Structure 1
Amino acid sequence: MSFNPLKVKALFFDIYATLIDWESGIYPQLLHLSQQLPPSSPLASDTPKTRETLLRMYAANEKTVELENPKLAYPQILEQVYARIASELNVPFSTSDQISFGQSIGTWPAFPDTVAAMQILSKHYKLFVLSNVVNASFARTCAGPLDGVNWDGIYTAEQIGSYKPNSANYNLVVTRLREDFGIEKGGIVQVAQSLDLDHVSGKRLGFEPGVWIKRGGAAMGGNREELEGKGMIELGAIYGTLGEMAVAVEEAFSKT
C-alpha cells in the first residue's frame, strides 16, 4: 500500500456508500416492494439474502439507467430504478412510492463515524465532493446527516452534466483543484467504498492509488480479488471505516 498521509494535499470523496449508509437508506423501500410477493417467495421475508439480492438489483439497474439517460436528474434516475425493480419482481407500485424513493436521498443516514472523522481530516487536507446527485439532494444531505462537515468544493453530476464513471467527472476535480487551489493531480487522493466504479476509474485515469473504505457487510461496490486480478484497481490503503482512516492520519501527523 502506498498511501502516505503526509504527502497528500486534498481528498475527494464518493459520498453515498462511503460517508452515507445508502444501503440502509435504500433497502427498506425496496423491501416494501418485495414483500408484496407471495409468502412462499424467498424475497418476501426480510433476510440477509433478500437484502443482498435487492441491493444488487438496485446497483445493476442504476448503472443501466444512468448509461441510458446521462442527462436525467438523479432523483428521476432513482424513480426509474424503482420502477424497473418492481417490474423485475412483477409487483405493483404507486407513483407516490416511486417519487418518494427518488426524493429520499437526503434522509439516508450517515455512518456513525463519518462526521467526527471528516472533522479530523479537515485539519490536514482540503476536502471535496464528487457525487452523482443533484445539488438539492446533496444540500439536504449536508443539512441533515452530514451537518458539521465542511467542504472546500462540491462537484455534482448536475453541475458536470454527466454521471460517474464518465471521465469528465473525475477530470473536473483535477482541473478545479489545480486552477482554484493550486493543487496538482499528484497531491490528490480519492476516498471511496466503490471499487467497481470509483477505484476502477481512478486507476484508469492515472490518479494516485486511492483509499478504500471497506465498509464490512456492504452488498454493493465490487469484488476486490476479481478487480485486482484483472489489474483494474490499485489501492493505496484500506480501512474498515472512515474513523480508522482518521486515526491513522492523526497518528502520522503526530510523529512529524
Structure 2
Amino acid sequence: MSPKLTDYKVIMFDVYGTLIDWETAIARALEPTLAGTPLASRDAALTAYCSVERDLQTRYPTMLYSEVLARVYAELEARAHNKLTPAEPSGTTAASVETSTGTVTSGTTVGSSASASEPPDAHTAFGQSIGSWAPFPDTIPALVTLSKHFKLTVLSNVDRASFAHTQHALEGPPDAPRFRFSAIYTAEDAGAYKPDPRAREYALRRVEAELGVPREQVLVVAASVAHDIQPSREVGLGTAWISRKGTQIGWDEAEGSKATFRFDTLGEMADAVEKETSGA
C-alpha cells in the first residue's frame, strides 16, 4: 500500500529554499558586487555561492551562519574582481559536538564578525540579511493548514539568532501567532551543517526525546535534494520534495524523483493533506 501523508506525525522542514525564497534574496544582494563580471548572471552567481558556502560549512561546521554568509560575500567579491582571497578565519579552537555515539572534537569555532578582523560593511550586511528574506507566497497559508494535522519542526542550516527573525515572519506576532513550530533545530545547535548526517541525527534524537515521536513518523519536507531529500531517504526517512519551479541550489531531478512524495509547492502539499483528511 502506498504511504499517505497522514501516516506521519511530525514534519521536519528545511526552511531556506523551501519556505523562504532565499535564491532571489541572495542573487539580488550579490548583484552590486558581481555586475559586469563573469559571475553576473543569476545562475553563475548562485552556482558560485553554493560552492563557496558548502566549502566553508564543511571546513568550519561550528561557524555561525551569519559569519558564513559574510565570508561567502567576501570570497565571491574577490573572485569576481581578481582580488586576493580573504584570509582564513582567526581565533579558531576545537569544538565538542554531540553525536549518537558520544561527544567528539570536531570542526572549528570561529571568532565573531565583530572582532578586529571584521569584514567590510557590505559583507556584514549580507551576513545579517537573513531576516529580510521573504517567504514564498504559498508558505504561510500552507503552514497554517499543515499545523492543524502535524507537529511542525525545523532543521535549518542557520544560527539561532538569524532564524529568530524568520520565525517571527512565519509565525506572526507572539501575542497572536498564526501557528507555532513545535521545535526548532539549527546547525548552531547540532554543531554541523546539512548534509552532514550528524545534523539530522541530532534533530531526530531531539524530536523523539522532546515530542515523543520516533523517526519512522517524521516526514522531511525540503526543496534541496542534495541537503535534505537524498540523505534523508538514504537513512530510511519519509521525504516530500517541494520541487519549486526555477530552483537551482540543491536541485537533482533524478534523486528528487525518488522521494516518498513530490509537490510543486508547499501549498500543493497542504491541499493534498486536506484532501486525505476529508476523505475526498
Using structure 2 for the length normalisation, give the TM-score. Answer: 0.81
- 4+ long deviations beyond 3 Å: 41-44, 91-94
Do the aligned residues in 2 keep the contact of 1:18 with 1:193 (CA within 8 Å)?
Answer: yes
Q: Does 1:29 align with 2:53?
A: no
Counterpart position of 1:213: 242
Counterpart position of 1:47: none
Counterpart position of 2:80: 89
Distance 1:223 1:183 in 2: 29
Do the aligned residues in 2 keep the contact of 1:2 with 1:237 (CA within 8 Å)?
Answer: no
Residue 3 of structure 1 and its aligned partner are, at CA, apart by 4.4
Do the aligned residues in 2 keep the contact of 1:3 with 1:211 (CA within 8 Å)?
Answer: no
Do the aligned residues in 1 keep the contact of 2:30 with 2:45 (CA within 8 Å)?
Answer: yes
Which protein has the bigger helix share?
1
Q: Describe the superposition over 1:176-217 as per-residue Cα deviations: whole angstroms up to 9, x where unpaired.
A: 222222211111110000001111210232212x00001101
Q: In the alignment, which of 244, 250, 256 is matched to residue 274 of structure 2?
A: 250
Question: Which structure 2 residues correspond to residues 205-244 of structure 1 after superposition, within 5 A?
Answer: 205-208=235-238, 210-225=239-254, 227=255, 234-244=258-268
Kindly, what percent of the aligned residue pairs are identical?
A: 36
Distance 1:69 1:163 in 2: 9
Counterpart position of 1:53: 44
Q: Which amino acid aligns with 2:140?
A: V
Question: Which structure 2 residues correspond to residues 125-144 of structure 1 after superposition, within 5 A?
Answer: 125-144=150-169
Alignment RMSD (CA, Å)? 2.0
Counterpart position of 1:9: 9
Q: In the alignment, which of 179, 182, 187 is matched to residue 157 of structure 1?
A: 187
Using structure 1 for the length normalisation, give the TM-score. Answer: 0.88
Residue 149 of structure 1 and its aligned partner are, at CA, apart by 4.0
Distance 2:276 2:261 in 1: 14
Do the aligned residues in 1 keep the contact of 2:17 with 2:224 (CA within 8 Å)?
Answer: yes
Q: Does 1:202 align with 2:197?
A: no
Matched residue SS, 1:11: strand
Which segment is superposed worse, 84-93 or 51-60? 84-93
Which protein has the bigger strand share?
2
Distance 2:265 2:217 in 1: 22
Distance 2:3 2:224 in 1: 18
Aligned residues: 241
Matched residue SS, 1:163: coil
